[in-house]
Amino acid sequence: MKTLVVCNWKMNPSSWKEAKKLFEETKKAAGKARSVSVVVAPPALYLRELSKLARSIPLAVQHAHADEGGAHTGEISLAQAAESKATYAIIGHAERRAQGETIEDTNKQILSALAHKMTPILCVGESTRSIQGEYFETVRSQVKGALTTVPQNRIATIIIAYEPVWAIGAPRPMAPRDMHEMGIFIRKTIVQGWGDVGHAVTVLYGGAVDSTNAAQILDEGDVRGFLVGRASAEPEKIKALIQSLS
């Protein structure tokens, strides 16, 4: 199975010219790494134009509304994202949760994404962590709440990206052993609610990751890939990361 790298550009780059260059550099690096599959999540404004260049690189929308249309100023719908050739949807990112997105919102978005034949990438994770272990309940509630009305036969199509928000920007990245523990916990939570199909769910690591630590997390962390933020918007960094995994 190939390692999945989802490149979340966030609100970068600032121009179409730069976006095109970044995409071409990422595509070139992906083409040289046979063991790596890359998905690019650009700002929605660039989706349609990048789809003309995409070929072997699928595109993701970073966020979209569950409703088909309506009075939602500034939003785009998952239907519109799908029509713009996005085949993946990042849902429940920590930065969206910080702006007020709820677990109920993530559930509606997952159902909408599935209805439009898109692959949801559900982000879960705690903001803080202590030795008491209450963060496990935080992650459990996010997973169960987001998947609550998803049919059992669709569970395996959903990707879970674990974001340890407390580790992003920290002096040290999350230890692979801790990620291994969380990967097991996430799959166990899904198995408890939906049966053995939970074992087939792809889990990604979405914390601070780059070429210096990605391979170790992949080997020891019970993950099948990464949701990459800052590094994915810098050509040299994303090329180095992809190379380190190939």
Active site residues: 93, 163
List C-alpha distances in Å: 163 to 136, 215, 217.
13, 17, 13
**Rounded CA gap, 89 and 114, in Å?**
10
Is the sign of the CA dihedral 130, 131, 135, 137 positive or negative?
negative
Which residue's structure tokens are 């059992």?
A: 152
**Tokens coding 212:** 């210096």
Contact yes or no for 72/65 (Cβ under 8 A):
yes
- Count CA atoms closer than 13 A to 141's CA, side-chain side: 9
Which residue's structure tokens are 């087939």?
A: 200
**Rounded CA gap, 139 and 106, in Å?**
14
Q: What is the DSSP letter of 126?
A: -
* Helices and strands, counts by H and E, the chain: 9, 8
